[in-house]
Copies of this chain bind each other. A is one copy, B any other.
Amino acid sequence: MKRVSVINQSIDTPSSGSTHLPDTQSLDDHRRLPIRKVGVRSLDVPIILHLGSEFQQNSIARFGLYVSLNADVKGTHMSRFVEVIENMNGQWDLQNLKPALELLLKKLPSQCAYIDLECPIFLTKSAPVSGKSGPMKYMVRVDSHLSQGQFRQTHTLKVWVTTLCPCSKAISNFSAHNQRGEVTLTFHSSQSVDIPNLISRIESASSSQLYSLLKRVDEKAVTELAYQNPVFVEDLVRNIADNLKNLPELTWFQVEAENFESIHLHNAYAMFSSLDLDP
């Protein structure tokens, strides 16, 4: 990356070094109220994204980094959160944020540390008949947390699909309304997860998939496929739950679907939680 050279605004500082500046943050706080989370957010940074050992991609992530603060301390030191990002050298494995959380706790000793980040990933996807390929965007997010040695990560994956309405198909002499839908999968896992495999399990549960590039033979195929696989938002979250419920690595998951209805200005929404599965 290039370095910006500041023009006509270099700042001359007098002799006073940083050691002489008061440290307001470290003062005692009289209110005796602990802060659960304090830090920085909406910090955009270019990263090398890793999703387990095999997947690597350039992306741009939006970060949040926080620690807890004891009741008797006035404030945290905000610059150290950014230093943690610098120290990671742009390498982020979303399947394991523990090293970053440990670094954060080393720089800012606290009961808890939190890091969240969200970024797009792109997978090359081939059209179903012509085989022509193009990049398909998905969003990944992780919310992580380290507290007294206990490490926890919540993963989120956003996938967009086609949904075709079963009611519209059943009652109409021909055709059915269909639309773009957004699926949000949130999960806890006991081990590294195959993200492209999860994406496939979501896409295959919909009426039809989205593609960046479709020729006419492909458009015919996805149109007919969608009509043959009508799903309500309810069906979509249930199909996905069916595709995921036997994956041993998912210790908890939640599936949300939101359809940008083609016949309304509002959206249809459904949510399934694995907590509602029979034991």
- A interface vs B, CB < 8 Å? 1-11, 13, 16-18, 21-25, 29, 31-46, 54-55, 57-60, 64, 66, 69, 74-76, 78-79, 82-83, 85-86, 120, 122-126, 128-130, 132-137, 160, 162-168, 170-180, 196-197, 199-201, 203-204, 208-217, 219-227, 232-235, 237-239, 241-242, 258, 260-273, 276-278
Contacts and interface: CB of A to CB of B under 8 A. Distances in A.
Oligomeric state, in number of copies?
4
Nearest to A8: B204
A210 B44 CA distance: 14
For A40, A132, A215, A239, the residue with the greatest tally of chain B CB atoms inside 10 Å of its CB is A40
A19 to B, nearest CB: 9
A143 to B, nearest CB: 14
Nearest to A164: B175
A40 to B, nearest CB: 5
Contacts of A170: 21-22, 24
A212 B21 contact: no
B2 A173 contact: no
Contacts of A232: 25, 74-75
Nearest to A266: B43
Contact of A172 (B164, B171, B197, B220): B220
A125 to B, nearest CB: 5
B238 A33 contact: yes
A41 B223 CA distance: 22
Contacts of A163: 262
Contact of A222 (B23, B132, B263): B263
B264 A210 contact: yes
B175 A223 contact: yes
A150 to B, nearest CB: 18
A58 B35 contact: no
Given A122-B46, A174-B227, A215-B18, A29 B179 contact: no
A207 to B, nearest CB: 9
A73 B61 CA distance: 41
